């Protein structure tokens, strides 16, 4: 990933596709006061709704997007997938897919993993919100299967981005959570007496298992905890903080 504006970072892997828009917002360039400083784009926070609306307007404008063309969902840490055909605010879905041009999919994050998928052959995209529950539920693989069934997507044609989330050295969990992950994605820290889970690696592995080529998967080098000067972290800031958006969609050629 490379920084292109203070408001967001874009995905290096996707830069070869001029019609594709894909980015993650940062916490910079907004109007919200502490503890939401400053680009809080989360609709379900204690921040002033007018601040959030202005922050979202700035983020969308920075990407050259009409905010009325955005689809999102109130996420519930589940595994339901929405086939989005119209913009709007939905509820109960943690992944959205579409093949509609000028329809931009978003997921809200502040430690959970955003995954963005682009199928340049069938012209389809997906935005996935995978916390530990969604990761364990195999939401990424389920989303790829949904794209295959609905759009005729071939995974080997696709590109995937595993976005900024809590890093493996910061995501401490108990045995009851750790045992739901394979040995490759959990480590016991004897000093802390806790397990550490790698959400990025676990979700990247799901892309590979779904049939993505390894050279078509990019993993964010950033961490919501480790680089908290740039990103909001629900865990680090004890729940009272802002949210980022991960967004993907494509324009009409």
Q: Write out pLDDT tens, residues 157-174.
A: 999 999 999 999 999 999
pLDDT band at 32 (very low <50, low <70, confident <90, very high): very high
Eight-state DSSP code of residue 135:
H
What is the predicted pLDDT for the residue at 2?
44
What is the predicted pLDDT for the residue at 4?
44
CATH number of 2-250: 3.60.140.10
What is the predicted pLDDT for the residue at 222?
97
pLDDT band at 3 (very low <50, low <70, confident <90, very high): very low
Q: Tokens for 224? A: 């919501």
What is the predicted pLDDT for the residue at 233?
97
Q: Write out pLDDT tens, residues 84-111.
A: 999 999 999 999 999 999 999 999 999 9
Average pLDDT over residues 170-197: 95
What is the predicted pLDDT for the residue at 51?
98
Average pLDDT over residues 39-48: 96
Average pLDDT over residues 42-53: 96
Residue 152 CA to chain centroid, in angstroms?
23
Q: What does each C-alpha distance from 133 to 102, 176, 192, 246 come to in angstroms?
A: 31, 12, 23, 19
Entry pTM = 0.97
Contacts of 164 (CB under 8 A, 6+ apart): 9, 24, 109, 114, 220, 222, 223, 224, 227, 231, 244
Q: Write out pLDDT tens, residues 204-237.
A: 999 999 999 999 999 999 999 999 899 999 999 9
Q: Give the up-direction half-sphere exposure of residue 194: CA atoms within 13 A in the CB hemisphere.
A: 11
Q: Which residue has the tokens 């379900």?
A: 44
């Amino acid at each position: 990933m490379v920084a292109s504006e203070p408001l967001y970072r874009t995905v290096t892997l996707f830069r070869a596709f001029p019609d594709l828009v894909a980015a993650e917002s940062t916490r910079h360039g907004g109007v919200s006061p502490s503890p939401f400083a400053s680009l809080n784009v989360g609709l379900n926070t204690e921040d002033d709704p007018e601040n959030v609306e202005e922050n979202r307007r700035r983020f969308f404008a920075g990407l050259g997007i009409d905010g009325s063309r955005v689809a999102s969902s109130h996420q519930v840490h589940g595994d339901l997938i929405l086939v989005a055909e119209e913009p709007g605010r939905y509820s109960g879905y943690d992944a959205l897919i579409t093949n509609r041009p000028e329809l931009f999919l978003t997921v809200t994050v502040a430690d959970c993993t955003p995954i963005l998928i682009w199928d340049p052959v069938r012209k389809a995209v997906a935005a996935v919100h995978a916390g530990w529950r969604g990761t364990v539920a195999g939401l990424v693989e389920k989303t790829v299967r949904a794209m295959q069934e609905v759009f005729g997507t071939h995974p080997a044609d696709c590109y995937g981005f595993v976005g900024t989330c809590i890093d493996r050295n910061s995501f401490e969990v108990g045995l009851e959570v750790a045992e739901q992950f394979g040995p490759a994605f959990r480590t016991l820290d004897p000093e802390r007496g806790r397990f550490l889970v790698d959400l990025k690696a676990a979700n990247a592995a799901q892309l590979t298992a779904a049939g993505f080529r390894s050279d078509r998967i990019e993993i964010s080098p950033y961490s919501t905890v480790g680089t908290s000067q740039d990103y909001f972290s629900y865990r680090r800031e004890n729940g009272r903080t802002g949210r980022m958006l991960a967004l993907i969609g494509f324009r009409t050629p």
